[in-house]
């Protein structure tokens, strides 16, 4: 008899990977069905990235994969109290690496804005909707790296995840 899958032991990236492989579809096809751009899909499907489908997109992702595993995983995590507020303190090497990542992401935001405010053929400087969305995505990357840094430093400061 097969042992049931313990969803509380699975990582979110493993759940996403299982859903994609179990669908029998190429990841690009799933991304197109959900409405993700290739760059967003690349980040979501990359297990080493901490980039996940947004909550409102979860049902569409489940439909595209033909699986409710993501929703089942969320329910199991909630029932098990899976949201961690306590994090391990970062070692100094991880602290420096995370700071370097954060600096890179901040540089990406600055570069995106610099490119977007270049004058158009009419000499106007404006940011269109597509450019604004790219800036938002870049800022979200800064926030993600910043949260990782905060979570790793909080224990050093004697703070829990809910303390500021």
Between helix 69-79 and helix 58-65 the angle, nearest 10°, is 130
Same domain, 12 and 55: yes
- Do the beta carbons of residue 87 and residue 155 sit within 8 Å? yes
Whole-prediction pTM: 0.50
Cα atoms found within 13 Å of the Cα of residue 143, Cβ hemisphere only: 7
- Looking at the structure of the chain, the number of domains it has is 2
Structure tokens given for 6: 């313990």
CATH of residue 74: 1.10.260.40
Does residue 66 sit in the same domain as residue 101?
A: no
**Per-residue pLDDT in tens (0 to 9) along the chain, 164 residues:** 444 567 777 778 888 988 998 898 999 999 999 999 999 999 999 877 778 888 899 999 999 999 999 999 888 888 777 655 566 778 889 889 989 988 998 998 899 888 888 888 888 888 888 888 888 878 877 877 777 787 788 788 776 544 44
Q: Which residue has the tokens 């595993």?
A: 69
54 in a domain, yes or no? Answer: yes
Tokens of 53: 């489908």
Question: Which of 79, 104, 123 is the endpoint of a domain?
Answer: 79
Structural domain boundaries, residue 45: 7-79
| 3-class state of residue 74 by DSSP | helix
What pLDDT is recorded for position 161?
A: 46
Of 43, 45, 88, 52, give the one whose Cα is nearest residue 73: 52
């Amino acid at each position: 008899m097969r042992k049931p899958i313990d969803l509380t032991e699975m990582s979110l990236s493993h759940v996403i990977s299982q859903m994609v492989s179990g669908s029998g579809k190429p990841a690009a096809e799933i991304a197109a069905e959900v409405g993700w751009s290739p760059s967003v899909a690349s980040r979501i499907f990359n297990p080493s990235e901490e980039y996940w489908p947004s909550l409102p997109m979860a049902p569409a992702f489940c439909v595209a994969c033909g699986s409710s595993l993501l929703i089942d995983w969320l329910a199991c995590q909630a029932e098990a109290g899976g949201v961690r507020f306590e994090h391990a303190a970062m070692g100094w090497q991880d602290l420096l690496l995370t700071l370097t990542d954060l600096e890179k992401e901040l540089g990406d935001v600055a570069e995106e804005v610099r490119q977007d405010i270049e004058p158009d053929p009419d000499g106007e400087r404006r940011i269109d909707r597509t450019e604004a969305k790219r800036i938002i995505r870049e800022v979200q990357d800064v926030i993600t790296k910043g949260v990782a840094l905060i979570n790793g430093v909080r224990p050093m400061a004697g703070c829990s995840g809910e303390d500021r």
